[in-house]
Chains A and B, each alone.
Chain A
Amino acid sequence: MTRVLPLFRRNLADTWRGLAGWTAGILAALFLYLPLYPSIAGNGQMQDILESLPPELVQTLGYDDITSGPGYAQATFFGLIGFVLVTIAAVGWGTGAIANDEENGQLELTLAHGVTRGRLYAERTAAVLVKLLWLTLVAVAVVLVLNEPAELEIPLDGLLATATAFFGLVSLGAVAAIAVGGMTGRRSWALGAGAGIAVYGYAVNALGNQNEDLAWLHDWSPYSWAYAEDPISEGWVGLIWLIFAVAAALLVIGWLVFRRRDVAV
């Protein structure tokens, strides 16, 4: 008998080990970095170190505001280590949704059953996004727990805004992998698209940080749409919505091609 969302549940059942691993990774990163804030950034030594570094490096890493609690959480986790970790998970899951399944030959048999391609595409996308949402929520929860003990003083509004931006940013990498997988069925293309969009966003943002003449580059980087206006301190600012709009557009294009093309050739 058909119960609800069989493909969604199958995807979660097949990947829960990975999800548990990534959850542990996120927890480890947060618990390693955040409690260090009072000792590293709070006493002024960090400022001295930053001043001795080349300003280009500081701007590339997004460490310009690292001496404030929100700036520290942003620069270490949401903007760097968390972004890298969860993007890797996102691109892996996104590649697995269609392209990997197609290349290893399993997609053919699933599609020969009583499911439409649109349903398969939607349920597997939903499964990937739910896992990314989970990792984001884990991060939010840990930040809330450590906010006081680590003297971070992150406003709730700012935390939710930057977490939303973070979720959008990692989802964009996943969605790019899903959509390109849906269009081509090729693992390497899907992986390249997901990783490429993440690296592209980060690199263009870092270039835009270098000087005023290059600041216009921020208009073209999803990473800048998410973080350039400093949502963790300022709240709901910037172009966070644009990330979701681009992700949605990519998904639709991927679906339109996927439902029309030959599978497993």
Chain B
Amino acid sequence: MNQQTLLSELSEIFNEVLDKEGIVLKPDTHAGDIEEWDSLTHIQLIVAIEKHYKIRFTSLEIQHWKNVGDICQSILDKTM
């Protein structure tokens, strides 16, 4: 799986969880760029991503994320 495929899959998850249409994620997208991405939906996104890829992030890993690129890297580390 490459980062581009991952980004489009994540965009779908974001659209579904945030109840929005047309979110297109880029590696440098961060919470400040999407209005609905707040401290509450952040947790819902994590749960949805973990369920989709059947993986489990550690708390420290999650707290290191600064943008979508970091999330992608964590997923790639666990699925490759």
A and B co-occur in one complex:
no
- B-binding residues in A (CB < 8 A): none
